[in-house]
Every structure is written in C-alpha cells, then in structure tokens.
Structure 1
C-alpha cells in the first residue's frame, strides 16, 4: 500500500475514522450518464455513480424475442395438429439472445469507467418458474456482466432474488451467480440483498415474467409475519454455491425499520461491499432536512468500524434525473468580473447542493472516536490469520517481544499480582528460601522470572519489591541466546546488576544459587512466567511450568499465574472461511490449524441461557501441582522406559509422562435462530494471584469478550484463537450445538482435536442430529515440546 494513502497505518495521514464513500443510484436511470452529467453528480458531493449496463431498447428486444419464440412454437404445434393445452417438444431450440450492439447500451470504456459501479438490469428474472424466461434471463445477465467486465468496471451489482419462498428458485439464482464468476474474470460480483423482506424494499422495476404476463401468483404468509432470516438464508445459499468466492460480496439494502440486533450481527459478519439507503429511509427533522433515526446511526457507526468499511449508496435522492438530462454545461465567462465570478459560484453551489449528501457528511464528521484498543495497527489486524507462536522450538525476534511489551494493562496486572504476593508474605510472615550470607542475616525473597524475553516482567518485579520494601534475590531465565544478550545489557544499564541472568531452558535449570553460597542451591519463593497463549495453554505453559516447578518452595511457594482456564464459543465468520479456502492449495493443513486472529467481523451464533452460557469453560490448569517428571519416571520404571517409542498417548505406547496435561471437554450451546458456523473462537482467563485476605479481589486477566472489560479492560496482548471447520455447519432454529475438544499429547508435542454436532428438538424429550463436522486434528502442525 502506498505510503501516501490516507488508509495506510504507517502514514501520518491515517484518519481517526473512515471516510464515507457515497454513491448515487437512480432506479429510473436507463442510460449511462454523459461526461457532463457524471461530473455534475460528483459536484453534488458523491464519490461514485451506478450505471445501467443496457438500455430500454435492449429490454424491448428481449421481450420481442420471447414473444416471437412463443408464436413460432404455437405455429409448430398447429402444423402438427396439437391442441393448445398439449406441450411442445421439449427438445425444440430455445431462443438465443443475440450479442449486444452499440444501440443496446450507452456504457463504453472511458477514463472514469473504473469509478462507475455497473448495475445489472433489475428486470432480469433468473428465478422465473418459466424455463424459457429463466434461460433468457441467464443469457442476458451473462451478456451484461461480460460486457461490463470488458469495459473495465471493477464492481458489478446484481439485484438478488425477490422472494425466498422457493428453494428451487433461489438455487437457480445461485447457480447463475456461480456462472457469472467465470464470465467476469476480474470484476467483483455484488449481490443486492435486503436485510430482511420489509415491504417496499425491493426493486420497483417489473420482472421480465411480469412484463410477459408469466408471473406466478405471490405466496403470502396468511399470518402476515415476516421471516427475518429468510433473506440471509437465500444469501447463504448463493455464497455456498459459489464456494465462498473471494470475489463475491453483498450489497445490503437497509430497511426503514431496523430488525433486532441478532440479525444485524449476522449481516455484520458477511462480506459487505455496499450499504444502500433509499430516500424512504430518511426522516425529516425539525429544520426540514433529511436525517436517519438514532438506531440507523448506531448501526452505521458500528458497520463503519470494519477494516474494509462498506461504501454507501444513496438511492433516488437526487439529482433529479430529468433535470440532469436537460441541464447543459454552465456558460463560461472568458473574462468575468469579481461580481460575475461570485454570482456563478453561488449559482453552482445552490444548484449542486444535495441535502442527503450534506447530512451523510455530517454523520461522517461526527462518528464516535476509536477506543483505546482501536489503534491503526490493531485495525489492520482485523480477521488477519497468524500462525500460533512456538516459543519452545523457535527463538522470537526483538520486534515480536516489543509488540507484546506495548500492552501496559497486562504488565500492570502482573505487577499488581507480584505486589500483593509480597505484601502477603510480609503480613502473614511466611518463610523464605534464602540462606543467610556475610553481612545479610535478614531473609530475602527468592524470585525467578522464567522465560524473561527482553525483561518487562523483571522490571515489574523490581518495581513491586521497591514499592513494598521487600528484599529479594532475582533470577531471569531465558533460552533465546539473542534475548539473553539484551537481558545482560538491561541488567547493566537499567537494573544496576540486581538480577542474575541465566541462559537456559527453564526445564533444565538447576535452581537458584543464593548469594554467598556458590555450591548451594535452594528453592524459589515466587515464580513468575508469561507463557500464556491465546487459548491459555496453547503455547505449552503447563509443560514449561512442569519442568521448573520442582524448584518452587513447598508448601508456601507461589506461581504467578496461579491458574488459567480455556473458553470456547461457536462463531460465524464467512470472511475467514473464504480466506482459508483460498489457501488450501498452498497450505493443505489450513483447516486443521488453530489460528491466532483478532476476530472482528464475526457473529456469535449462540445465546446465553440459564446454565448454558455463550462462552463456556473448556478446562483448567493450576500451578504448582505435584507431577511425575520424565527423569523421575525413568528412575521409577528403569532405563527401559527411556527407549519407549513415542505414540499418541500412554495408551498407545508412549511413556505417558505428559498425560496429566491432556484434557477433554464436551460443551452444549443453545442457538435460538438458524444460522451457520465456520469454527470455534477460543479465549482464556487467568488468576494471576489470589490474595490470602479473602476480602481482597483476585488479580485476574481475561480475553473472554463479556469479561475482559471487568478484569483487564483494554488489554491487547492476546488475540483470540480460531479452530476452523473445513465445511461450514448449517443448523435450523432452536438448535443445540455440542462441541467436543481434546488436548492431546505424545510426550514430544501437543495438539488439539475438535468436533461439532448439531441437534434439533422435535418433541419435548426428543431431539435428532441434523448435522456434524468432521473430526479435525492439528497434529500435523502440533506445538513441539
């Protein structure tokens, strides 16, 4: 991305909120605007304009083609003595729509055609029950899209089906859109769909079936109820038939009456390209100007927080198409006086004023500011897939450490936990593991920071000790030889030599050697680590702490963190699923990899009900805990255990020294409305320290969406983890999703396996399985111990 772009997070021009790119659409327009007309529309404040691909002459030619074909078919039947009620031979040739001519369109390649949004003819009827009309419609649509693609249009809007009643009709439409993606080699295809079937929200132009008198009677619900999710259902059918193409988007018609938040969330997760607002949606305020309701403003502000914010199309709000057609270029004055020039400017300003555009610009200027966790850099990370870190097998770079260190909330909470632990040590007179040495008989706390990185936790330990007046001996352990150099420099320049820096894998550390006793090792009173991953345990915090916790003093020694829990929730995220689908040729394990991603354009499909929450705990790890380590296992079972072949757990031949860190969960989630899930969102919570005074609050951190503001507001150190499903799982309303997940180990690596099943209730005590995913496994990309 060019450094001069206003949307480049690295440039100094990054706007605090996104621009509104306003487009103008006129449902009555049948011809492409002339150059003068196009620039007149832009002068009113619009950024782009829609254009029809073909004109009324072409439509009449199609109508005449159909009618002439019917006449030929009737003549064929008469020649063979068939009655009017008898069907003609199904193998008779169907009408073929001839290629476009220059009389059929006013759209031609031009210098600004890339700024035009091509709009397919709204009378095209792919969903017609008449096979001839649907065949002609398919041909017409292919001709229009192919020609717009040739002219250089970058986006082509296709009006969506006008009804969701017939699955056959929607499937026919979906098949036609799939064909368009092959016809259009470069342009994006955008299907124009209503948020829901609000009366009056559809196209005003008659369908080809209606024009030809072949339209079927509309099916109406006798109860008068509107199925809020039927339009989304049709869209889901379309994009599924198109295998989540990266060139397929949706343009969303915003209704006058907004639906419940649940449906707004569903569309928020979809690949939105345009939001379209008709003139009917706007209200008239006290000054007589157009305005949107508070609910519409809130919805718009929320949708505009997407990294790829949708563009906005205002429909039928002017300029008046007749006046625009009649209006000629303004007269120019070769040598105007100042008064004449001022008069021309005032006239142009008055003529070009558009109240709807002015109001939208007002909303643009008054968008709510970004929050503390919505920096330009974080916005670029929305729904961007990252492979999980493997800190045990890989050495991190300084830039990676620096990014983690940029989160003050995390380290403030760690410092608070360390401070509370030191205060409790003093208040409750707990013993220490230090050994008196010459000139120092007072006890000192033995503290170790394992996996010190570049030392942010070391600094926080020293600050906590200073604020509580606690004497300590401090060790910083780091296996990364490059970070070790940095720690030595920090110890010399920042920590005044107060820290003993040790280059070692924490699991192989021999223990702390107290001052004045070079041949003696003792225990650690406080062990501090920051090994937590997006799912809590996915960066092998349990395995790492297992290897060092033997040095924690018993029974009074403390581990910070003390415990952590993993949490799951099924989600719909079409954008990420499409991204993974595009990677599968180069990464065959894309759908079996737990990805770290800042989930944003997602829909939490489940609801919280009594006993079954939207975010549920999968499992927990606590430290320290008594375990049998590998070397202890060999001593107990003899040297033969050393040669055990690694398998998939103790039941399959491995020694089983890490089986205590295996986990399994089976969770049930309740879904009120029908929908689709593309995977599982994973989060974690951690109790860093539990004060001995039970009246004090726990020192905690959390990434769970409904807990993070309460426990660690504005913390950004961890993005969620995402466990994808290879095939999206669709489910009906009133469904229970059952999630099974396993944390597996073979003593050399750790991986996850997951499975999702959908059950629908068909009676008070009876439910049936309506779908299930395959069993996914990340063993091929396991985290190495």
Structure 2
C-alpha cells in the first residue's frame, strides 16, 4: 500500500493552532466574566490578570518606607535587624478568587518588585511578594503564571549576584505551588530603551546608596539574556514547570540566537505594538523575518502561545452587538506586508470584514487589528514536510535502541521501518546497479544456472526481498534469491509471501545469518559406498549480500558483527555487500528538554544518564560553528564490507585461543575476537557562542553501492547510491528518508561552554566479544595564548556497558 495514499485524512492539511492572549501592563481592574466574554467574542483565547491590586502595592511601599526610616533614625546596628514580614492578603489586595473563569486567566506577577536587588531589604520584600502572589494564584486555581524577568542580564559582579537572588526566589515560588506552570518573561536579547517611562511605584529607586554598584550599567551582550535564563533554570534544576515567555523585539537577533531560543522550553511568545510594522494601509504587520520565526517556533512539539502586550484595550462590546471576530479573514489591505508586496489572498471574506474594509482609516484604529493579523498568519502557515508529518508526536521522545540480535522484533516494529518512502527505493536502485555492473563486467556467478545468487540477510517481513525481485525484473538479469531470517515469527510471514506474492521464487531459510552455511547444494558423492542413495549436503556461495542492519549511529545495532559472521558465504573474489560501507557522525548539542526528561528518569533508573537514546531531535541547538577543518558535524569512524580475509582469520584464531605471541585477550574482557570492530575517535569543535552541552547528537551515512569506475578513456562512469541521516546532507543523498532517527548520548551533568571555546568529544566503541557498548567524554577549552589552551570543564565519563547491545 502506498504510504502517501494510506495516510489518515486531514494530516496533510494540519495547521498549528495559535492560542492568542491579551495583556495590559497597567491593567488595574479585575477581569470580570463580561470582560472575558468580550475577549472571547473578538477572538482572544486568554487574558492576563494582575494577581494583586494597587491597594496591596501601596501597602508594600508604605511598609518599605517605614523600614527605611527606621534604618535612618536608628544607629548602624539597626541594619542587623530582620526585614519586615508582609501581612497576609486582605480582600482589597487581590482581584482573584476561585471560580469557573479563573482557568482562562494567566496570572501576571507584580513588575514593580526587584527580586535581584543588591539591597537585601528590597530583595527580601520582593521575594515575599512573589511567593504570596504565586501561592494565592495557585490556591484560586490559576495554572499559568508569568513572572517578569530580571532587571539586568550581563555578567558584572553586581548583576551576577542579583541573578542568583532572582533564581533562588523563582525556585522558592515553584515550591509553594506544586501544580502551577511558571514562565519567565524575558527578551530575546537585552535592549536599552531610552524612551521607556519609569514604572510608577517601582521598588528599585528605593535601593540604598551603599548597595549601588558602578558596574551595573556595563554594556550587555547578545547572549546575556539567554545566559540569565540559563542561570535561573539551572538553579531550579530544569524544573518541568518552568519555561520561557519570550519577548520578540522589532529587530530580530542573529540566526544563532534564534536557534538557541528555539531549543528552550518556550511557553509564550509576546509581542508589543513596537514589534509590528505598518503597511501602506496603516495596518500592523510583521516583516518576513518575524513571519519565518513564528512559523519555525510554531513547529515545536508543544507550540508556544502568543501574547499581545499593550496593543490597546479589549473592545467594549455591548451585549448582543455584532462585532467582527478575528477569524483570519482580513481585508486585502490588511494582508499586505511591510514591503508592500501583496500576500496570498483568502477567498470568501466575511461580510462584516468587507464592510470594515470600506474605510481604511477606521480599520487603522481597529482595536483588534493585531489579533486579526495573527489569525491570518495562522491560516497561512506553510505545510509540513514529509518528515514532520511522519514524526508528529515523536519529536524529542526518548526510545531505547533496539536489540535485534537478542530480541525478536514485533510485526508493528517492522511495519514502521517499511513506511519509509525513500530507503527501499534506494536499495532497489543499488541492487539494480550491482546486477547491471555484474553483467557488464562479465563476472562469474555462484549458481549452476548462471543466475546471480543474492541473499537478504535479516529479511524481516521481506521488503528487501521484494525490491531485489523487482530490480531483477527491471534489469532483466536473473537472480537466485535467498531470504535468511532468525525470527521464527517473521519466518512464517516470509513463507506466506513466497507462496502468495513471490511465486515460490525465493528460498526461505530460518537461521541466524552468522550460523547460515550458505545456499544448499547437493553433492553427487554418497556417504558410504555400500549405503543407499543418501547424499551429503554441500553449500555454495553468495554473490550479493543485502542487509538493513544499520542503526541510528550506523553500527549500534551490530551490523559489523552480523556481516562479519555471514561473510564466509560471500564469493571471495567478486562478492558484493549492500551496504558496502557506513560512517558514524556526531556533534555536541544543547538539548535542555532531553536533559530534563533524562534527569527525571534517573530518579528511578540509575542507568538513565548512561543510555544512548534513539530520538527525533527537535528542540535542540547545535553549539559548534562550521570552520575550515572543523565542521559542525564530524565523522567519528567507518566500517567497510567485505573485510579482508586476513582480518577474519585473525579473529577466528583469537576465538580459538591460537593467537601467535601468546595474546591473553582484550582489555575489555573476552579473547579479543571482535577487537577489529572496536573504534575510538576524538573530534574538535569550535563554539563561537556560549552554551551548555547536554549531550552528543549522532548520525550516520552509508554507501549502499558504489559503481563508479574509470572507463577505457579515463573518464569516471557509474553511479553511487548513498543514504544519510545528517541534517546537512540528508537532502542531497536521501531526501525525506524517515527510517532512522538520530542517536543521543547524554551527559549526566551539563557542561558549560564559554564564548570562543573549543569542545572536544572523545568516544569509544567497546566490545568484550559478548556485547558492544559506547563510552564518551566531552571537554571544553579556551585559548590563553597562541598555542596554549586552558581546560575549563570536563564531563563525567558516559558508559552504556550495562545496556550494551548483546551479540
């Protein structure tokens, strides 16, 4: 069945849902049921609400003033007095209360507090305010709360201390509300707004002179706001209820910083009026860069909500008064971007919207113009790619690698593999090229009939067998097909396919490929001259071995060991292995979501941080920058098939204990028979921007068949068929292939990388002749001189020995 036609309906038409909220920084009046209805009537999904009132604000400021006066009037020892304790709320202090509508509200904590203040009095009172607000909102049933971000983000001494205090206050707030999700409202990068009006009643101006530092006004750098967020979430131990409310600026930062925020747990994207541009009709629109950013961020597994901040009040709609709902069908003048280029138009415009479009001046003042525009973007999101459609729900979902030798796979597992629209087409191409070349080069075959003997080692449910038969039919070159499978359940299905689909053209064998002796031939000699016609069986050779034993890191499902074990049946001079080679590739990544998930698992599973996971990497950021000789993703090692006969002979000698020189086995244990499949690699990566290494992303590339050769005239002829899972080469080699997700090697503790650093990854493929496992270390260095480096960090050694793949 064609996977494209069998896909459930509406999947291709999927568009991300935009949940849009409304926020007013100066909102003082309670959110009534009528206000909520008004917001819903015009198209908002949620509203923010202050948790406390100006009455409470005044009480706190009075308490602060009284305490400061006490310090002034008393002697210096009064500074040792404990700070005041805020009294509990009274009914005038908060607009919130339990009820049915509270679930539609997002609590917004007071922005006039200063959690990171260098003045211990102000920071203490601010912390009390935050804790009281979060606790009461949780009591009322509010499930989402936004906390304004820290005041400064740079790494000066004063600010660094303030970030620690801020982070500690957030950690405490998370502890008093066990079910509330907290989002830190933080800009993509620090921006100084000279036109900003000081917040009325802000606590910061009350900071005492002795606590004001001269270095608090240092210039802030592009990654400083991310750095501040990293401090906060690290102190809070990657709490799953802590996320980011990211303020999107009018001028977007570099692609590197956009990618960094993409990897973080984004709960909200906030936009204020200054983020938008005006088109020729005077309507708010977003530039192409912002549209691309929204489309990208809304592809996250958990798409962030959108929050419109201070773009005007909610229209005061009278009961039963018709009002144009922001449904994504704006007038043509609204859907022109800032450059004046018309954007795609939507047919069947709502009649009310048409009426509104008659007067562009009135629409320019439309209080829902920003919302209408966001709804328009929602309806015009680009379609998902093949990989996005297939991987929906799998993004950042951790899975333990398969144990195909130790376990018999279920049919549904095979079925997932077989849905790949590319892999089997490429295998068929490779087989067809190999057959064509075999005939063109006039190679002798291993069958008496002259047919090319082809064996599918590890046939599963038979897709490669089908493709081999199809390649034979297309090229007109006959084959003698053998299907070898150890899974007794899949063996039953292979027999049925042979009867119903393959016209009994396939020899189906139930055997581990390593124990298979080869195609069965009958000898003309008798076992005993005096006996009956009983004949001794003999076994022939195979011309082409086809397998799909590759894992996410190429060799992690023991393809090398399996193909070593079956190589004895391959024709020694002309035999072909498909695949003929494969390489493992890696890169250090920032992956906070995966780290949080694995840390949570580690509470009950001591080996969670030492397990390499198969995962569709999604919300990650590549830390390395591609520079000459040091690309972002680098090759670790390679395996080639078939192996030289001498290598296999040495392995067999070790297995039999007959190693010349009296060898005593490998360091990892065992006799060293599989030592030729051990590997080691050390890769250096250049990281221009600071970050955290949470783990190593692993990919692979494989050459299924390389038919390139020199012609008689010296020209290169022939083709090469390759597969790749590397994000930078997959489109060129095997676009839309979905069979393999990447592998992820986690670090137990994240490794901090400073700006302009070098990261070195050491990784080993180890074996003790019974199983195969990996070990890995990550180190960070900075240059302190022309040829001198300083190691600034090193990870714990990761080792998957306990979870090694059994041979």
Residue 48 (structure 2) aligns with: 50
Q: Report what 1:3 is aligned to.
A: none
Change over 3 Å in CA distance of 1:15–1:132 after alignment to 2: farther
Instruction: Write the mapping of 1:590-669 to structure 2, written as runs, cut at 5 A.
Output: 590-625=608-643, 626=645, 627-628=647-648, 632-633=652-653, 637=657, 650-651=666-667, 653-669=669-685
User: What 5-or-longer segments of structure 1 have no aligned partner?
Assistant: 1-8, 333-341, 436-441
Please name the residue that 1:246 is paired with: 240
Q: How many residues align?
A: 740
Structure-2 separation of matches of 1:265 and 1:710? 23
Residue 692 of structure 1, CA deviation: 4.6
User: How much has 1:107 moved relative to structure 2?
Assistant: 1.1
Distance in 2, Cα, partners of 1:749 & 1:687? 26
- Partner SS, residue 752 of structure 2: strand
2:651–2:672 contact (8 Å) kept in structure 1 = no
Question: Greater CA deviation, 213-222 or 696-705?
Answer: 213-222
2:77 to 88, 91, 104: 88
Decide whether the 8 Å contact of 2:184 with 2:243 is kept in 1: yes
Residue pairs, 1:159-558, within 5 angstroms: 159-165=148-154, 166-200=159-193, 205-206=199-200, 208-212=202-206, 214=208, 216=212, 219=215, 226-319=220-313, 324=316, 329=319, 354-375=368-389, 377-435=390-448, 442-514=449-521, 519-558=537-576
Q: How does 1:100-139 map to 2 (within 5 A)?
A: 100-139=89-128
- Residues 1:13 and 1:149: Cα distance change in structure 2 (over 3 Å): farther
The question of whether the paired residues in 2 share the 8 Å contact of 1:546 and 1:629 is answered with: no
Q: Which runs of 5+ in 2 are unaligned?
A: 1-6, 323-350, 357-361, 525-534, 710-715
Contact kept in structure 1, 2:701 and 2:723, CA below 8 Å: yes
Q: Look up the match of 1:760.
A: 782
Measure, in 1, the Cα distance between the counterparts of 2:574 and 2:119: 81
Provide, for residues 694-721 of structure 1, a one-character-per-residue CA deviation record: whole Å limited to 9, x for no partner.
4233110000111000000000000000
Closer, same or farther: CA 207–691 of 1 in aligned 2, 3 Å = farther
Q: Judging changes above 3 Å, is the alpha-carbon distance between structure 1 residues 203 and 776 closer, same or farther for their aligned structure 2 residues?
A: farther
Residue 153 of structure 2 aligns to a residue whose secondary structure is: coil
- Cα distance, 1:316 vs structure 2: 1.0
Determine helix, strand or coil for the equivalent of 2:387: coil
In angstroms, what is the RMSD of aligned CA positions? 2.7
Tell me, in whole angstroms, the C-alpha distance in 2 between the residues paired with 1:781 and 1:233. Answer: 35
Q: Cα gap change, 1:105/1:508 in structure 2, threshold over 3 Å: closer, same or farther?
A: same
Shift of 1:635: 8.2
Deviation at 1:220, TM superposition (A): 6.9
- The one-character-per-residue Cα deviations of 1:111-165 (angstroms, maximum 9, x if unpaired) are 1211100000001111111111111000010000000000111111000102023
Establish whether residue 779 from structure 1 lines up as the match of residue 791 from structure 2: no
What is the CA deviation profile of residues 200-249 of structure 1, one whole-angstrom value per residue up to 9, with x for unaligned ones? 39896357433536484785767xx6410000000000000011011110
**Is the 2:654–2:672 contact (alpha carbons within 8 Å) kept by the matching residues of 1?**
no
Residue 70 of structure 1 corresponds to 68
2:772 to 750, 760, 777: 750
Cα distance, 1:94 vs structure 2 = 1.6
1: distance between equivalents of 2:83 and 2:655?
A: 84
Conserved in 1, the CA contact under 8 Å of 2:586 and 2:697?
Answer: yes
C-alpha distance in 1 between matches for 2:469 and 2:766: 38
Query: Per the alignment, do residues 755 and 414 of structure 1 end up closer, same or farther by CA in structure 2, a change over 3 Å counting?
Result: same
Aligned to 2:755: 733
- Alignment check: 8 A CA contact 1:122 1:207 kept: no
Measure, in 1, the Cα distance between the counterparts of 2:92 and 2:37: 24
Cα distance, 1:318 vs structure 2: 2.3
Instruction: Look up the SS of the partner of 2:539 in the other structure.
Output: coil
Instruction: Verify the 8 A CA contact 1:44 1:353 in the aligned structure 2.
Output: no
Decide whether aligned partners of structure 1 residues 613 and 352 sit closer, same or farther in structure 2, where only a CA change above 3 A counts: closer
Cα 1:462–1:330 shift into 2, 3 Å: closer
1:715 matched to 2:737? The reply is: yes
Q: Deviations over 1:477-498 (max 9, x none)?
A: 0000000000000000000000
**Distance of aligned partners of 1:588 and 1:10 in 2 relative to their CA distance in 1, 3 Å threshold:** farther
2:538 aligns to what SS in structure 1?
coil
